[in-house]
Every structure is written in C-alpha cells, then in structure tokens.
Structure 1
Amino acid sequence: MEQHRTRPPQHPARPRRTAPLPPQGRPVDSSAVYRAASRPRRPAPPFVRALRGLPVYRFYRSLRRMPNPRLTGLGSGLFCAAVMFLLACLLWLFFGSSNGSLVTYGVLFVPVSALTALWVRPVDLVTAPIGVPIAFVVGLLPVSGGSGGFGAHFMGLVTALALHAGWLYGGTLVAGVIVIVRRIRFLGQRRRARAAAAAGPRTPRRRMPAT
C-alpha cells in the first residue's frame, strides 16, 4: 500500500530587518559625524596681562590697524635706516644742525622703530631690535653737526649720540617690547595649530545593517 509522505507545516518566512535608508535628495544626518570638542582657552600668563595694561601695548594695538606688510630682516633694517635718513635730511633743510632738530629726530625715531618691529616677518623678529639702533646712527649723520673734515663730523656724531642716547634706548625698548608680544602670539598660534592638527577630524564609522 502506497504511503503518502507528510511534510511538516512550513511557517511563513519572516521579513528581514534592515536599517532604514535616508530619503534621496536629503543629506545624511549630521549627528552621525564625530566632531572634536573645542578646548577651552587657557588664561594668559601674568606677565602678558601686565603688558596689556601698559600704554605701549595700546599703542601696539593701534598700530595693528595700519597696513600690515611683511619685511625680511634685511628689509626692515633698510626701511628704518632709509626713513630716518630722509627725516634727518628734511630736518636739516628746515632747522639746520641745531638742538631742536636733534630732539625732533629722536621723537620721530620712536614710532619708526615701532613700525619696523611691527612690519618684520615673524621668523625675523630677532633682527628688529638689532637693526633699529644701527638705523638711528645712520640717520643721525645729516643733523649731527660738525664742520670740516671727517674727524669733525665723527666728533659731532659721537657728541649727538652721547647727548641724545635716551631716544636711542627708548626706540629700541619699544621695538623690543613689540617683538616680545609678537613672539608670544606667534608661539601660541603655532601651539594651537599643532594641537588642532594632532586632534584631526575623525571619520564616522559605518554601521552594518541588522539581519
């Protein structure tokens, strides 16, 4: 007698669960992208806060609003020497070799020194306090006085330097303070750039669809 084979009852196939796809034409949710948390800014050191309270720092901030060229170390020295020599020639034409022209020359030397330290490139900041005193001596030749040969002009230059050395020290000090402030800011920017490069943007991980 023929027997019929019986099969067990088959259950209906369960639908597979898949992750919902984003609708076409719309960007993926930005919450899936990992972003590096912004680090809080560190407070400035005490000596930086002390420098910000000085009038020199306010003068530096006002100079920052002016045109901002970038000069090399040699270019900044030539700029300061040429400007001071031209100013000394103008003072000699209007006032001659007098004490008033020397005082005016010293007063004009301070802002020129500040501009020189402000416009030099960050990699050549050390050259500004070195080139500024040399430019002061070069520009002092027309108004230093002295009549006759080389010896008389040399003695006049030495006398003018001895009597008006305060302006030389003042301009060099202003240039040095600006260079220090710029150096601190430059190192801070490099440190933040390295930290940002080390952190880097993290790529999101792709989630596998559930089966």
Structure 2
Amino acid sequence: MRRGQSESRLTGLGTGVFITLTALCGGAADSLMNGEPGTLFGVVFLLACVAAGVWVRPYDLSAAPVSAPIAFTIALAVTSDGGGGLTGHVMALLTGLATLTGWLYGGTVCAAVITAVRKVAYVTRARRAERH
C-alpha cells in the first residue's frame, strides 16, 4: 500500500448507496432552505461523484459513473415537491431533471474521467509488474 492511501474502498453497491445518500442529504438541505433542490444539491452531488470515483475499488470502477445518474434521479425524486399530488410530484421531478441537467452531467463525467484515469493507471501498473 502506498503512503497516504487508505485500504478501505467502496464496492459497486456501496458506491451507489454513498452517492444516493449524500445527494439525498444535499437535496434535503437545499429543499429546506430554498423550497426545492438547486445549486447546493448539485454541488453536493458533484462532490459525491468525485469522492465515489476516487474511493471505488479497482474491480468496481464502472460502478461510479453508472450509479451517478440513478442516484441523482432517486435523490431528486425524494426531495422535490410539486405540491399537487402524484402529478405535481412527477412534474417537479421532470422539471428538476431538466433544470439541473448540468449538475447531473458534470457529476457523471467527473466520475467517469476519474475512474477511467484510475483504470489506465491500474492496467499500466499491472503490466509493469508482469514484466519485472
């Protein structure tokens, strides 16, 4: 183990749960302050995606970018409130998905780039170890 690197890593399922719970907390805090998920929700989601990309196990690297949009949608569905029953809730969810798309793409792309770089580094390190 390299210095400064923790042994604990997130599994694929743990990555999805981590992003979902963190985004739920951000969305709930934003909803309490502003009445609906917005910028705080997006920033917390983005940070959760970055952390998940860094902390996911090498064998589960694809889980971070895959679970990010699912977690975003779940957190938005739980924290958005349309106030008009089921139809109002669905409309609030769809509106949130449309207006917060930048945060969704940003978090997903960050997780994908981080995990892709980690995968390349992991494969390169494994190939060097085979040669020696």
Does TM, normalized by the shorter one, top 0.5?
Answer: yes
**Match of residue 12 from structure 2:** 73
**Match of residue 119 from structure 2:** 183
Secondary structure at the counterpart of residue 81 of structure 2: coil
**Match of residue 135 from structure 1:** 71
**Match of residue 174 from structure 1:** 110
After superposition, residues 1-211 of structure 1 pair within 5 angstroms as 69-97=8-36, 101-196=37-132
User: For residue 172 of structure 1, what is the amino acid of its counterpart?
Assistant: T
Alpha carbons of 1:140 and 1:67: their partners in 2 closer, same or farther (altered >3 Å)?
Answer: farther
Q: Distance in 1 between matches of 2:25 and 2:39?
A: 16
Q: Deviations over 1:81-118 (max 9, x none)?
A: 01111221122223222xxx412211222111100111
Alpha carbons of 1:73 and 1:106: their partners in 2 closer, same or farther (altered >3 Å)?
Answer: same
RMSD of aligned alpha carbons: 1.7
Q: Distance in 2 between matches of 1:103 and 1:67?
A: 31
Secondary structure at the counterpart of residue 62 of structure 2: helix
Q: Distance in 2 between matches of 1:96 and 1:142?
A: 13
Secondary structure at the counterpart of residue 80 of structure 1: helix
Displacement, 1:68?
6.3
User: For residue 113 of structure 2, what is the amino acid of its counterpart?
Assistant: V
Structure with the bigger percentage of helix: 2
Give the TM-score normalised by the residue count of structure 1: 0.57
Q: Distance in 2 between matches of 1:96 and 1:141?
A: 14
Moved over 4 A (4+): 65-68
Q: Deviations over 1:20-74 (max 9, x none)?
A: xxxxxxxxxxxxxxxxxxxxxxxxxxxxxxxxxxxxxxxxxxxxx6866301101
Give the TM-score normalised by the residue count of structure 2: 0.88
Question: Structure 1 regions of 5+ residues with no counterpart?
Answer: 1-64, 197-211
CA contact (8 A) 1:128 1:175 kept: yes
**Match of residue 15 from structure 1:** none
Q: Distance in 2 between matches of 1:89 and 1:148?
A: 19
- Higher alpha-carbon Rg: 1
Displacement, 1:191?
0.6
User: For residue 24 of structure 2, what is the amino acid of its counterpart?
Assistant: F
